[in-house]
Amino acid sequence: MNGTLRSRLVRVLLSGASVALAIGLPVHVGAQEGAQPQPSYQNMTPEQRAAATRAFLGLGPEPDKAAAARGAPMYRQSCAFCHGPQARGATGSSLITSDVVLGDDRGEHLVAFLKKGRPERGMPAFANMTDGQLADIAEFIHLQVEEVANRGAYHVLNILIGNAASGQAYVAAHCRSCHTAETFAHIGSKYRSPDQLQRSWIWPPRPADNSLAVTATVKTPDGASISGRVTQLSDFRISLVDSAGITHTIDREPRVLVEMNDPLAPHQQMIQALTNDDMHNITAYLDSLK
């Protein structure tokens, strides 16, 4: 089986290794390893994310989008009736996992295949099309594979589906015990996308000025009390930086008392109780505060 493996896969696996390293994987790795992308992955541009995932998955070279766009109308006219508008199958088979498609790189096999067709299975020959046209159709099909298999290239759709007035009412009822109107002023223009806004109002990133840092007070058996920003916490150790900037690392012996304070604790509680409708409504409201 592997003897028939084509260059599409191999070439990209070899080049993919360097791509992956250059941008610092790990990436979103899927079912075996949970569904949550790593923070570094979140910070990538969409193009980096797609490239990293493509390399990790061994998906082949990046489809040529211009060629695929040229191929799209020809695909719609000649192929979509049987294979579906996105090549996911209709009366004919899905092309997403087709051996012929996956074994092809840039049309070097598909062009000849399409010229001949598979008359014995009811697939016509496309002998009247030029090699260039058939290569563009091949590229369109490769793009359909990419859009299914490369989850790093997925895009969140328009998430603004809530009711802004209901969201405003929720904010007035639930958020004003800690926040003033100033917190929300222009919040709708601070993020590059509504899903970033949604994510950030639910669980704000802790800013570099440490204004949302976790703090603690540690009381040691000799009566000393140290307070500061926590930089590490385990069963066995706590490290904190005090107001003078001095780092203290204390072993958590049995008589060492630790009192933690997380300014985001109310948000952690909110996440446990937040309904999807409330989330959508609040996001719609906040997005309107440009």
Partner 1 sequence: MRLTSGIIAALAAALHTGSVLLAAQAAPHVSLNPAEIGKPPVTSWPTFNGDYTAQRYSTLTQIKPSNLNRLAQRWVYKITDVGAQRGAPVPIVKCTPLLVDGVLYITIPDHVWAIDARTGKPLWHYDWVDRGGHLIGQRGVGIWNTTVFFLTPDNWLIALDANTGRELWRKNYADARKQYFSTSAPLIVKDHVIVGVGGDAMDMPGFLDSFDPVTGDLQWTWWSTPRKGDAALATWPNEAASDHGGGMTWMPGTYDADLNLLYWPTGNTNPVFAGQGRPGANLWTESIVALDPDTGKLKWYFQVSPHDTHDFDNTTAPIFFDRVVGGKRRKLLAQAARNGYFVTLDRETGKYLVAKPYVPLDWSAGLSPQGEPIPIPDKDPTVGGSINIVNASNWEAPAYNPKTGLFYVNSVEGNAIYYLTDNSAQPSGYGGTGAGIGHATRVLKAIDPLTGSAVWQHAYPNLNNAPSTLGPSILTTASNLLITGDDQKSAIIFSADKGQVLWHSELSASESSGVITYMLDGKQYIVSAAGDTLYAWSLPK
**Interaction of residue 202 with partner 1, rule CB under 8 A:** yes
Which member of 37, 63, 167, 228 binds partner 1 (CB under 8 A)?
37
**Interaction of residue 230 with partner 1, rule CB under 8 A:** yes
Q: Which of residues 2 and 243 has its CB atom nearest to partner 1 in the complex?
A: 2
User: CB 53 → partner 1: shortest distance, Å?
Assistant: 9
Alpha-carbon radius of gyration of the chain: 27
170 token code pair = 């929720």
The residue whose two tokens read 């989330």 is: 279
> Scanning residues 135 to 164, which ones bind partner 1 (CB under 8 A)?
147-151, 154-162
> Scanning residues 166 to 195, which ones bind partner 1 (CB under 8 A)?
195
**Interaction of residue 76 with partner 1, rule CB under 8 A:** no
Q: Which of residues 11 and 125 has its CB atom nearest to partner 1 in the complex?
A: 11
User: CB 128 → partner 1: shortest distance, Å?
Assistant: 26
Q: How far apart are CA 233 and CA 290, in angstroms?
A: 39
Interface region with partner 1, contact rule CB under 8 A, candidates 32-40, 130-138, 181-189, 220-228: 32-40
Q: What one-character DSSP code corresponds to residue 124? A: P
User: CB 25 → partner 1: shortest distance, Å?
Assistant: 5
Alpha helix segments (H runs only) across the chain: 7-22, 39-42, 46-57, 65-78, 80-83, 99-102, 110-116, 131-149, 164-174, 181-184, 194-202, 265-273, 276-287
Cis peptide before 26 (omega within 30 of 0): yes
